[in-house]
Chain A
Amino acid sequence: MTELSKTQTTLNQPEPTKPPRSQWLDVWDQFKTHKGAMMGGILFILIVAGVYLGPFIWDIDATQIDIRSRNQGPSWAHPFGTDQLGRDLLARMMAGGATSVSVGITAMLLALFLGSFIGVLAGFFKRLDGPLMRLTDLFLALPLLPLLLVMMLLFREPLNAAFGLEQGIFILIVSAIGITSWMPTARIVRGDVLALKEREFVLAARSIGTTNSKLITRHILPNVLSPIMVSATLGIATAIITESALSFLGLGFPPDFPTWGRLLFDGVDYLQQYPERVIWPGLAISLTVLSVNYLGDGLRDALDPRIRGR
């Protein structure tokens, strides 16, 4: 693809007047002009900063119980109000966000990596297609809950011993979500690769002796980027929500770790009395997903040389 775009640039400019620019600078230039992407990016940075740096400014402990001031609405002492045990909701949102954002992004990246890897391999190499796709079928068919129970049984104690309670469970949950959600990405990527590898430019690249690995990284992968980006944005939302489902089934973080998903779940019963309890976590999840979505849109456009040229 890059060859292609370079040729185009050369064609448009008969005499190079400026020194050649790096490809990534071009990408950044294109990215900057994408308003949605910039807004998404800023919002995402704000959210990440809020949940990780926020606790240094707003230093109430998320698990601190103040039973006298329970079920309060927003006030200066508690801008987001308090929950049924008098815990400060702002602090809980920050602590929950730190967990949810890191679980969401890590699990999404893991699922994305697994899915793209298996999808590309299966689509590109005919001999691997059968076994890998049957493996995908197997994973699609496995019932999630018993699988998680088995994983908890096998790996919880060793991971806790090796990484400590919090880290151990984090790894367990991220891998649980990751290895149970890569299959759609794999199927989608494979479908696209099957079509792509019959295209002329792949044939052309192959005929000039491009190795398979080069072919995949330089020609195939950039062209399946858009479904991967969509999977990524949907994947974050799925991971955050799956985590909440895990905690309410008793398979997630210990009960004193708030997460956005769990805050939302706990708040649903109080929907009528204290609607803000569901609004804050709901809004936070939606905003994160939206920001990642716009970020992904912008990134995809910026990486597409056909659009970049315009």
Chain B
Amino acid sequence: MKEKLTSFLQNKWSQVILFTLFVVITSLSLYLSQKSVVAFLLLLASLLVLYYMKLKNLTKWIVSAGILFILLPMASSGGPAFQSYMEVATMVGIYVAMALGLNIVVGLAGLLDLGFVAFFAVGAYSYAIFATPQASNFMPFGQYPLGGESFWIFLIIGGICAAIAGVLIGIPVLRVKGDYLAIVTLGFGEIIRIVFNNLDRPINFTNGAMGISSVTPPSIFGFNLVFPHHFYFVTLLILAFTIFAVLRFEHSKLGRSWKAVRENEIAAQAMGIPLVKTKLLAFALGATFSGMMGVVFAAKQAFIDPTSFTLLESFTILVMVVLGGMGSVPGVILGAALVTILNLQVLTELTNWVNQLNLSGMITIPDALSPAKMQKLLFGLLLVIFALYRPIGLIPAKNKKFDESKLKSSNSLSIDRENSVAIDKDNV
């Protein structure tokens, strides 16, 4: 017994020591080297390692918060590539939050939504329009652009706008199920993009295909947020809120009602779960997180146009959810991080490398075959491979484990029943 206990402790502590060593080495090499994508990715991967360690949940949260808020920005601040690291990390954060939003709709409620990027667009435009002179085209009162402080209010407004869009799209769309739902949402996703593309006439709301440029940077206490590492922290905070909220939803009566609707609509309804309301709520809440990140995206890019919200974006987010594991919060976070990094780091690095080879004249690869243009092919392959060989995703969804001892009570019904059964038998 004692041996077992000590070996267990050893196990846990050896884990901690190895983990610390890993983090220290990766952060140091990231800090000292001029540009080391590998070290950067390994430091991010330490969070995945942390997930599988035998530690308390709270400890894991604190350690990962420490790595993301302090260690990662500090370690990557060494070289000239600091801003590009922060840019990638910010995009990872934005996509993770969106994927978590889509996970509510697809993973929990089982509604295949192929137009999810529409809500991201609604959030982005809601801030972009009011943080530029664009709004004075149609607003009878007020001074535009609004100041950078309004960004914080727009985080909420953007979320609410996206939620309203979710409900408005949901009301007609949720009459159909399965494949039909996928097609209809795909259509609506495109409709929203095309509407933004054409809403420059008769009144110029969105400036059409030209896009909206020089969006006012957010500011806090008079300090303007312009660099990617500023947005990194903003994204991280919103992401923290998103993860927190999504985890709460998942194991609440709401999450259960979504899963029930996913598993069997007729039975869910017979248990008193209103179908339309539950589905609309999934649409609206999923859209909210997407809309909030849309606001951050608009502020970060300082320029948005309809081409940022194409069908490919919707597919990308869906791939993240399917790859990670439908309905699984840690899975979706991993999936979103992997796909974003693949998109922004791996493919870009590969393209750079291929370009260098081209320049040096060693081989010639036509521009059309450059890795950055392989996105659709790769995502398609990933979807097919995962659908065939691992439909549950990288980290499959887990059900909540209930502690039996906490639920036991002294006056259980079964004892009563056994007694009454005994009496019945006596009577017979």
A binds B: no
Q: Which residues of A contact B (CB under 8 A)?
A: none
B residues sitting closer than 8 Å to A (CB atoms) are none
